[in-house]
Structure 1
Amino acid sequence: MYKKRIVLAAFIALAANFSANADDEYKHFPALKSESSAQALCRIQEYNSRLQDIVTQDEISVEGMLKVHEISYTLENALQKLTADLQQAAIDLEEAHLGSEALEQTRVKNHANLYLDITKALHNGLKCD
């Protein structure tokens, strides 16, 4: 129990070092945004690898805990982008479906193409830099 308190105190002290000064509003670690589904998937691939390297260790150091905290911001942004894109893809697919029932070619083409644009990153050979 004592060791956990020391580790927690060290973690808090390390995290505090990332704030410019005590008078500033609390600032989180910088996080990379994902502008597209493909970019979100690449961020997940890269940052999952970093996360896995940390959590597969027998014990996670205080620095490792801090790194997990930092990594999570970029991963959260990537997951939010994917979630938003997949929600939109579901809407567009449903519109294409409804358009097909009504034999509305323009509606089907427009929404099917929007759906395909969003989901292509999920099944095409993803190439991350």
Structure 2
Amino acid sequence: MKRIALVMLAGLLGSGMAVADQHERADHFEGKEAKTLEEAVTNFSEGNARLAELISADSISNEQMGEIHMVTYTIENALQKIDAEVEAMAVSLEEVHLGSETLDQERVATNGADFLEAAQTLVE
């Protein structure tokens, strides 16, 4: 259920978070790349855990603010990949739906397998 919630979150969040240190923009950081949905889910989970750890302190040092800045890029990358993959899953699922209406077994089987393979990453 947590992974389904993160998919919904991915659709709601925009990108473009910025962190300022002493009124100046922090250096740009790329973050971890997510080439697959599985990598994205892992990066999202690990990034959220680290962010939770960092912000749970009574006070946050400048060094920790820098780390927060970096981890947000990784989380954003993960959300972008999750969003793209969920859009592709929606297309496959719609093909299953339309195939079931027209009794097109090949369309249902092919697109159903594609959908389930991708969806399994989110429901494990």
TM-score (norm 1): 0.74
Map of 2:86 onto structure 1: 86
Q: Could you report, residue by residue, the CA deviation over 1:77-114 in whole angstroms, capped at 9, with x for unpaired residues?
A: 11100000011101110110110000001111111111
Q: Distance in 1 between matches of 2:41 and 2:76?
A: 12
Residues 34-53 of structure 1: CA deviation (Å, up to 9, x unaligned)? 11111111111111111111
Question: Identity, % of aligned pairs?
Answer: 36
Residue 87 of structure 2 aligns to a residue whose secondary structure is helix
Distance, in Å, in 2 between the alignment partners of 1:71 and 1:86 is: 22
Cα distance 1:59–1:43, how it changes in 2: closer, same or farther (>3 A)?
same
Supply the distance in 2 between the matched residues of 1:30 and 1:104 (Cα, whole angstroms): 45
Q: Number of matched residues?
A: 105
Larger Rg: 1
Superposed CA RMSD in Å reads 1.9
Q: Is 1:36 aligned with 2:36?
A: yes
Structure 2, unmatched stretches of 5+, are: 1-19
Structure of higher RCO (CA pairs closer than 8 Å, 6+ residues apart)? 2
Q: Tell me which amino acid in the other structure corresponds to 2:110.
A: N
Distance apart, 1:12 and its partner CA: 4.1
Q: Secondary structure at the match of 1:29?
A: coil
- The question of 1:50 aligning with 2:53 is answered no
